[in-house]
Structure 1
Amino acid sequence: MDDVAIVGRGIIGTSWALVFARAGLGVSIWDRSGLSEAKIISDLQASATSLIGTNCAVPPEAFDRIRVHRELKNVLRGARYVQESAPEDLALKRELLHQIADAADPGTILASSTSGLRPSELADGIAARERFLVVHPLTPPHLLPLTEVVPSPFTSDEVVEHTCAFMTDVGQAPVRLLRETPGFVANRVLGAMLNEFFHLVREGVIRPQDVDTVITQGFGLRWACMGPFAAMDLNAPGGIADYLSRYGGIFEKVAKERNASSALDDALIKTLAESMRAEHSLEANPARAALRDRAIAHVRQVRTVVP
């Protein structure tokens, strides 16, 4: 893939443009604001100013690879990958995706940045729907590599594989969802956590300002270096299965308090343990814990907590 089309120049579209241009690709942006190309490029440069001197910096020559077009057909011409980033409105996105699918070159991969709309909803009735899928980033993608690649039931496996490889090539960290689900994964997890914080604040358990401290001085430090399953695996002598046998009841109690049920059972614990042991032996855990400790210390040393 040599050229990328960005359809929608909001916060997400702007950030995607930085991702692709930084990776050395030619980027075409569809913009109907009436602003000059020079002004739009200047705004893109301004949005990347704070990154100068970091390993996420966008080199000056990257902006020479960005073009702005007023006509949709012009932004799509020659593009092998399209990132639609229009507002989160199903009817609007459907209409736009129909236009994109009709005007794009044959074989072009069509991706939407939607935060929660199902790809099968978005692509219903569009041409070449086997080439359509959701590629959902966190905000902003030029700083947060995680990218959810979400196929519909009719997306071809080849398109999914090509998209995951492409995201890796441009510096993102793609996670392929095995099937579509409302909110995908990242927003479902974020929603579950935030809903619990909302409850705890409303019930007078914690002050709002202390919620942020729970993350910035606790989980955020650890999660900057390793994920929650890997962390569990290091927090009990027998690994993740041992941890959940000791503390898994906490999750059941919290779920019951919210009139829900925990998904944790013996079969799932077995699945988690087998997956972890396929990656790391228990004998390796002391060395992994030492690496975790040093990584957290480094994060604490270099980070700035933004109020």
Structure 2
Amino acid sequence: MCYNCPSEPSAEARPGDRPSRRAVARLLMAGAGLSALAACTPASAPEASGTTSAASGTASPGASGEASSPVPSRSGSTSTGASARPSGAASPTASASAASSASASATAPSTTAPTTTAAAAPPSAASRLPKQYSLTAPASPWVIVNKHRPLKPASYVPADLVQPRVALAVTGEAAQLNRTTAAAAERMFAAAAADGVTMTLASGYRSYATQTVTYNGYVSSQGRAAADTASARPGHSEHQTGWAFDIGDGGAACSFQPCFAEQPAAVWAKANAHRFGFVVRYPFMQHTTTGYFYESWHLRYVGAEAATDMRKRGIATLEQYFGLEAAPGYR
């Protein structure tokens, strides 16, 4: 039988017959449609790429990973703005639709990667707390004073200095704290005593003039470089704010010495001070951040909420907690 003869009449299909000329033509047309689709599909890539680029360029700093540009669906259709894709040119056959979907999925660029670069830097840990305080105002419990951040004004004097009702190892201005710190210290000292630990106030408020004398004494005996690791320069001391003080042990052992860390007062304070709003301001092995070697006796009031949050998160220094730069040395 001649299957390619132009004069071949259309006959009824019989079992075992090969496809008719019309059926073969339909198959050839479908194949041509798939070839045309495959040839056109790459042309959509520049448009899609441009859309992704524009989206990533206009994303706000606070973006949280959401893509701004339309993304093709798995069925091959796109959202508004992507109508130029050639999916509409597909053959009406099921096989052509499947090819269109596969081709669109294979050539469409991913929009996930560009949007991740637009994500904002994580905020400081302290920003999650419901109450926020100034990091620069001297009267704020969160004021940060270090070798990069001097007090302003340098001659600041707290307006509410009082002498707390605790065991004192000093007299005069050194026995004073601001009112908030004094009240918290009274509660902490009482709790330590209830646990059988005697704690003393070894050094509280220091005026600018007193800090000048203290710092110059270190310079005279040790030199400026060594003095800067042991004593703050005038105007850079937390003691001047009234928010910080040094503790001593009831036995007066190892005062202001590295071995103080092993005394009952220091051990108890390290484990419990956060409950009363205090942190050990210059922790062990954090001098590259704080600028000072370990001072287990130096406590700083920041409030129970912040102090407890720091402990739960395992954050050692105020610089890290508030997202500030390290201050290992003076500028």
Question: What TM-score, normalized by structure 1, do the two folds share?
Answer: 0.23
Of the two, which has the highest radius of gyration? 2
Higher helix share: 1
Question: What TM-score, normalized by structure 2, do the two folds share?
Answer: 0.22
